[in-house]
Amino acid sequence: MGVPRRPVEPPTAEQAAFLERAIAEYGKATYNFAYRLTQNESDARDLTQDAFIRVYRAWRSFQPGTSFLSWIYRIVTNLYRDELRRRKGRFHEEIPEDNAPQEFGGQRPLAVTPIEDYVEGQLSEPLSQALQMLSPEQRQVVMLADIEEYSYQEISEIMGCSIGTVRSRLHRARALLRRLIQRQQQQQQR
Amino acid sequence: MTQHLTTDNIIDYLHGELDPAEDALVHSHLQACAPCRAEFERESSLTDALRAYAHAEERDLPGMVKAQLWQTIRTQRPSAAERLAALLRPAIAVPAAALLVLVTYFASPLGRPTAQLRTIDVMYYFEQHAAEQMKSPLADRNATSSMLETSEAAFTGSTTLPVRAAAVMDAVR
């Protein structure tokens, strides 16, 4: 921060207009996506800002007719992944995916259906906590598939992995989510 | 389909990710099988819960993000890649321009001289000259016909221009 920064060439009118429009149309969705990933406002703000700076720099590489949202979600995903590596995951207590099949795989329906209760009533806090306990990749695949309603193919392009990986991550993440919600309900009942 | 559906099947069905034949099988199975339908309802309700959570938690983009974004853009240093590109721009642009000029030159008629043209002209000249000689009653017919043969061989490209010219000159002599 102490080093004076040299301004780069000012944006052209076209470049500025592109960025303005991108922020106006997709800023909120990008920020919410970043917030759900990071689970905190400060990191979500930084992530959103960095993503739009990437958009600003690479605006000519955007192909009209393709999905801008998919593009910026991919940018956010990559930035988040880089940030996690830089921080060495110390902000997240990841649950190894390998644990999921042994612990939860093949489990039949729960005896109770706490999810419906959360939908009707105290939804946010337990689900938010459960989401925080997923690994970043699991949380992201759930968000993209269930909240953003992307196809497995689109998710694989955003996350940079195979469709098979998307499928298995989603299956495990949902099984884990259900298990975590059940656990929280049991704790509340005690 | 007599066996129960797996949860993975149901999740893929819920997300519209089965191929049409599988999708139809799962659909008809769910009509007939109460336990699998219950499982489907549970998975559906998880999706509903996630969407409701996302909707409830939705936030507006803080105004400071946009302000800081523009501030950063106006004050940021160029990235390492951008600095390198700026540094290399003259080193790349000058040879590229030179190459373009050369390519343009050699692709145009200016850059294609004259080897072929000169060959034709020279041959044409000697053939015309030999033909004129043949008409002359005083001409040395042996030398002239030899000159014509040599010039024909040269015209078909069997020798290079200097060799062909030398051969024709010898024949004239």
Are A175 and A99 spatial neighbours (Cβ–Cβ below 8 Å)? no
The answer to whether residue B135 scores a pLDDT higher than 90 is: no
Question: Do B127 and B91 share a structural domain?
Answer: no
Q: A164 or A1, which is more confident?
A: A164
Higher pLDDT, B26 or B83: B26
| Structure confidence at residue B33 as a pLDDT band (50, 70, 90) | very high
Residue of chain A whose alpha carbon sits nearest to that of B64: A45
Question: If pLDDT is split at 50, 70 and 90, which confidence band does B8 have?
Answer: very high
The answer to whether residues B38 and B75 belong to one domain is no
Name the more confident of B165 and A64. Answer: A64
- Residue from the list A8, A52, A108 with its beta carbon closest to the beta carbon of B78: A8
| Mean pLDDT, chain B, integer | 76
Average pLDDT, integer, range A150-161: 95
**More confidently predicted of A114 and B73:** B73
Task: Give residue B133's pLDDT band: very low, low, confident or very high (50, 70, 90).
Answer: low
Kindly state whether B56 is in contact with chain A, defined as any CB-CB distance less than 8 angstroms: yes
Number of domains in chain B: 3
Contact B61, A31 (CB under 8 A): yes
Residues 92..131 of B with a Cβ closer than 8 Å to A: which?
Answer: none
The Cα–Cα gap between B159 and B170 comes to 15
> Is the residue at B119 inside a domain?
yes
The answer to whether residue B19 is domain-embedded is yes
H or E element: which one contains B155?
helix B141-155
Domain boundary among the residues B56, B71, B88 is at B56
| Structural domains present in chain A | 13-87 (1.10.1740.10), 99-189 (1.10.10.10)
The Cα of A174 is separated from the nearest Cα of chain B by a number of Å equal to: 8
In a domain, B31, yes or no: yes
DSSP chain A: --SPPPP-PPPPHHHHHHHHHHHHHHHHHHHHHHHHHHSSHHHHHHHHHHHHHHHHHTGGG--TTS-HHHHHHHHHHHHHHHHHHHHTTTT--PPPTTHHHHHHTTPPPPSS-HHHHHHHSS-HHHHHHHHHHS-HHHHHHHIIIIIS---HHHHHHHHTS-HHHHHHHHHHHHHHHHHHHHHHHHHHH-
Q: Does B90 touch chain A (CB under 8 A)?
A: no
Does any domain span residue B16? Answer: yes
Are B126 and B157 found together in one domain?
yes
> Using one digit for the tens of pLDDT, what is the confidence trace for A5-42?
444 567 788 888 889 999 999 999 999 999 998 888 99
Kindly state whether residues B127 and B155 are assigned to the same domain. Answer: yes
Residues B67 and B88 in one domain: yes
Domain residues for the domain of B100 are 63-110
Residues A42-70: tens digit of each pLDDT: 999 999 999 999 999 888 788 787 889 99
**Confidence at residue A108, expressed as pLDDT on a 0 to 100 scale:** 36
> How far is it, in rounded angstroms, from Cα B137 to Cα B29?
110
Average pLDDT rounded to a whole number, residues B105-111: 75
- Look at residue A127 in the predicted model and tell me its pLDDT: 85
Q: Which of B49, B61, B75 sits opposite A115 (nearest CB)?
A: B49
The answer to whether residue B2 sits within a structural domain is no
CB contact under 8 A, B61 and A10: no
Which residue of chain B is at minimal alpha-carbon distance from A21? B66
B1 occurs within a structural domain: no
pLDDT at residue A118 is higher than 90: no
pLDDT of B60 > 90? The answer is yes
- Mean pLDDT of chain A, nearest integer: 79
